[in-house]
Amino acid sequence: MGLTACIGLFAAVVATWIAVSGPGEAALVSAGVIAAQGDEQIAAVLAIAFAGTVAGSVAAYWLGRAGGRRLLLRPGPFLAWRARALARSEAIAQRHPFLASLLVPGWFAGVNEISPRPFIAGSALSGVAWTLTIGLGTFYVGPSLISLYDAVGDWVTIAVIAAATAAVLLFLMRRARRQRVAGRAGLIHATPPTDSSADAGEVICGERLGSVA
């Protein structure tokens, strides 16, 4: 591979593993197809791609660790909800640091302050799986494999967005319900006795006085 192609592949994979989905997969597919045609060595392609996964994941980890928590806990809308969500995710990540590093992006591990050692191990294994799946897949099977990979990724992204939207809507509905209940309770306490209740009290008092007499 030429120097420009190596730098392009490495930069695309780094961007993907920081936060930008798409360019790394496309670059690795292209490199794998070219290698399958005999123009490049697949081992060099896989090595550069894996190095990009490690560099991007580590960069995302330190970005999340440096500013992710401050961003999530910044005063503003849904601060209490964001703080509870962070506490829950941190509890899960701290109980299973290697598994969390294997399955989630690097910035998630950084935000939840996973220790560097389990993060590096889990992230490296994830990078190996990603590199071999796409790189060797396109080398032996062709671009059809990446189409399936992208379709699965799209459905996972849709599921995550739907779950997050449902959680926000549920929080807003519960908050509105609590406000309505509080408003009704305040209205009941603030309502003075009606004339009918006062008249009824007078009738009862008159009957009692008559019975005493």
* 184 vs 59: CA distance, rounded Å: 52
pTM: 0.60
| CB atoms near residue 56 (< 10 Å) | 26
Pick the closest to residue 101 from 115, 91, 84, 87 (CA basis): 115
Tell me the Ramachandran region of residue 16: left when phi exceeds 0, alpha when psi lies from -120 to 50, beta otherwise: alpha
Q: Are 144 and 121 in contact, with CB atoms under 8 Å apart?
A: no
* 23 vs 158: CA distance, rounded Å: 19
- For residue 209, the model assigns a pLDDT of 47
Domain ranges of the chain: 1-142, 150-213
- For residue 149, the model assigns a pLDDT of 64
DSSP letter (8 states) at residue 20: -
Per-residue pLDDT of the chain (213 residues; tens, 9 = 90+): 678 888 999 999 999 998 877 889 989 988 888 888 776 788 999 999 999 999 999 999 998 888 877 777 778 787 788 778 778 878 888 888 898 888 888 888 888 888 889 999 999 999 999 999 998 888 887 656 556 666 666 666 677 677 778 877 787 788 778 877 777 766 666 555 555 444 545 545 455 445 544
**23-36 vs 3-18: helix axis angle to the nearest 10?**
140
* 27 vs 6: CA distance, rounded Å: 10
Angle at 144 between CA 142 and CA 145, to 5 degrees: 85
* 95 vs 80: CA distance, rounded Å: 23
Per-residue pLDDT of 22-81, as tens digits, reads 889 989 988 888 888 776 788 999 999 999 999 999 999 998 888 877 777 778 787 788
